Amino acid sequence: MTKINLDVVQASIRNVPDFPKPGIQFKDITTAFKKPDLFRFIVEETAAHYRNLGVTRIVGVESRGFILGSALAYKLGAGFVPVRKPGKLPAKTYKQSYELEYGTDTLEMHTDALSPDDVVLIHDDLLATGGTVGATIDLVRKFGVKKIFANFFVELDLLNGSGKIDEQVPVWSLIHF
């Protein structure tokens, strides 16, 4: 049986060239998450990093951020709050637009999703340019929460996404490429 460590997890992530468009090297996390022992390791290692910080809410970004995000909420005894693409959330929402390579995109959160005494851990599967998490931080800030952390399963270091995140928000990723 292979001993699980970060190298094994990294090697289990499938690289799909030219998806969803030419020139993008897509990091496919499904090949890591489908293995029970790897998924357990990923959840345990990530939860261990955020234990004892008083996290009350995991804010997961649609849609791949929901997978590990909900497991982290369970492990940390926190609640789970979804950040969604436009038109998906049924009640009143805050909206935040952000720049893409071509055009803009928008994310939404329910206006009653968080309160000022929350300690929030934002989670997404992957940090690339930082646009998605930047918009998510702007949304979470509307609630005046106590503290915001940001976590990713995978970070693409060359794109320096973490360098674009506000210094007030500590960033930590399990796997780096």
Q: List residues near ligand AMP by CB under 6 A.
A: 24-27, 61, 64, 124-132, 161
108 counts as catalytic: no
57 counts as catalytic: no
- What's the rounded Cα separation, in Å, for the pair 95 and 107? 6
Q: What is the torsional sign of CA 68, 12, 153, 88?
A: negative
Q: Which residue reads 């998924």 in tokens?
A: 39
Q: Which is nearer to ligand AMP, 56 or 162 (CB)?
A: 162
Nearest approach, Cβ of residue 27 and ligand AMP (Å) = 4
Q: Which two tokens stand for residue 152?
A: 């990713």
Nearest approach, Cβ of residue 138 and ligand AMP (Å) = 13
Q: Which two tokens stand for residue 30?
A: 């499904």
Q: Which is nearer to ligand AMP, 63 or 115 (CB)?
A: 63
Nearest approach, Cβ of residue 71 and ligand AMP (Å) = 17
Query: Is residue 15 within 8 Å of residue 26, measured between CB atoms?
Result: yes
Q: Which is nearer to ligand AMP, 5 or 25 (CB)?
A: 25
The residue type at 88: K
Which residues are marked as active site?
A: 64, 101
